Amino acid sequence: MNRNQLAQLAVLSTVAAHRSFRAAAKELGIAPSAVSHAVSTLEESLGVRLLARTTRSVAPTEEGILLLERLRPALDEIGVALAAVVEAKGQPSGNLRLTAPRFAADLLIAPRLGEFLSLYPDIKLEIADEDGFTDIVREGFDAGVRLEESLEADMIAVKIGPPMRGAIVASPGYFEQFPIPQHPRDLLRHRCIRRRFSNGTLYNWEFEKDGQELTIPIDGPLILGEDRQPSPLRSAARD
């Protein structure tokens, strides 16, 4: 069955219900000639007469009755499906998969989860909190939280939070042995804690001031994986 036949079957069912081409045309919102053409084309493609026509009446033939009896459950299911779509309009439901870096999941998403789930009880929310910047489309996610510099050119993005600032910290004991850095480049002479993302890349510390950006390829004796709770990064820095 081709797509045109599906439309023609719907027209046939309407004509048979009303026993009138003109009444069917009025319900379907098309011209009577279009209704007649749809039925005639269907009959020609099937090689059988489906409607008996006189100047005063229209009635299904035996073949038409057999076809309509088998067709009615399918058309009813289509009607139920369309009604369900209309009823669900404006009421989000279904599965929603998000991917977000752990800091974004903790700081931006987690505080809003209670309110979100209360407002949209029919949504099943799944959050993958990982820092590897997974390909959103390839891995089957609906959306993701990303740093601005990590956005691809073809991504549709909206801002979900204020600018975020990081801090370079160390324990008091560390600064008893090493001078406090005065410029990001001074970090090249310090024993920094490095971080490896799940995709294998090592993070280089990034800085920005007055529109000027600077990336420092830090070095140090310790490399840790993705941040978890309790954070091994913070524990190592304190020690």
Has residue 165 been placed in a domain? no
Residue 95 pLDDT > 80? yes
Has residue 146 been placed in a domain? yes
Has residue 18 been placed in a domain? yes
pLDDT at 190: 93
What is the C-alpha separation between 216 and 36, in angstroms, rounded? 76
Q: What is the pTM of this model?
A: 0.49
Spell out the alpha helix ranges (H) of 97-219.
Answer: 102-104, 113-119, 172-177
Give the least confident one: 25-29, 95-99, 136-140, 214-218. 136-140
Has residue 163 been placed in a domain? no
Mean pLDDT of 133-144: 82
10 shares a domain with 84: yes
Q: Which of 196, 157, 164, 97 is nearest to 146 (CA)?
A: 157
What is the C-alpha separation between 89 and 194, in angstroms, rounded? 49
Task: Choose one of 88, 103, 137: the last residue of a domain.
Answer: 88
- pLDDT confidence band for 1 (50 / 70 / 90): low
What is the C-alpha separation between 153 and 51, in angstroms, rounded? 58
Contact 175, 186 (CB under 8 A): no
52 shares a domain with 18: yes
Has residue 43 been placed in a domain? yes
Contact 92, 123 (CB under 8 A): yes
Q: What is the CATH number of the domain that holds 73?
A: 1.10.10.10
10 shares a domain with 39: yes
Domains held by the chain: number: 3
3-state secondary structure of 134: coil
**Domain range enclosing 179:** 172-238
What is the C-alpha separation between 105 and 58, in angstroms, rounded? 65
61 shares a domain with 17: yes
Q: Which of 223, 222, 195 is nearest to 131 (CA)?
A: 195
- pLDDT confidence band for 90 (50 / 70 / 90): low
pLDDT at 178: 92
70 shares a domain with 122: no
**Over the stretch 55-66, which tens digit does the pLDDT of each residue have?**
778 899 999 899
Give the Å distances, CA to CA, from 234 to 42, 111, 175.
73, 22, 16
**Over the stretch 26-81, which tens digit does the pLDDT of each residue have?**
888 889 889 999 999 989 988 999 999 887 788 999 998 998 888 888 878 877 77
Q: What is the CATH number of the domain that holds 134?
A: 3.40.190.10
Which residues, in sequence order, are CB contacts of 229 under 8 Å at separation 6+?
Answer: 106
Has residue 155 been placed in a domain? no
pLDDT at 10: 86
Has residue 212 been placed in a domain? yes
Strands 193-195 vs 212-216: parallel, antiparallel or unpaired: unpaired
Mean pLDDT of 130-157: 77
Task: Choose one of 66, 88, 110: the last residue of a domain.
Answer: 88
Has residue 162 been placed in a domain? no
What is the C-alpha separation between 166 and 104, in angstroms, rounded? 13
Token pair for residue 60?
């299904």
98 shares a domain with 77: no
pLDDT at 92: 77
| Percentage above 90 pLDDT, the chain | 18
> Across 107-210, where does the E strand assignment appear?
123-129, 143-144, 193-195, 205-209
Residue 4 pLDDT > 80? no
Residue 100 CB neighbour total at 10 angstroms:
23
36 shares a domain with 58: yes
100 shares a domain with 146: yes
- pLDDT confidence band for 136 (50 / 70 / 90): confident
pLDDT at 57: 83
Task: Choose one of 88, 107, 123: the last residue of a domain.
Answer: 88
100 shares a domain with 77: no
118 shares a domain with 77: no
**Over the stretch 161-200, which tens digit does the pLDDT of each residue have?**
777 777 888 988 899 999 999 999 999 999 999 888 777 7
230 shares a domain with 201: yes
Token pair for residue 57?
């009446």
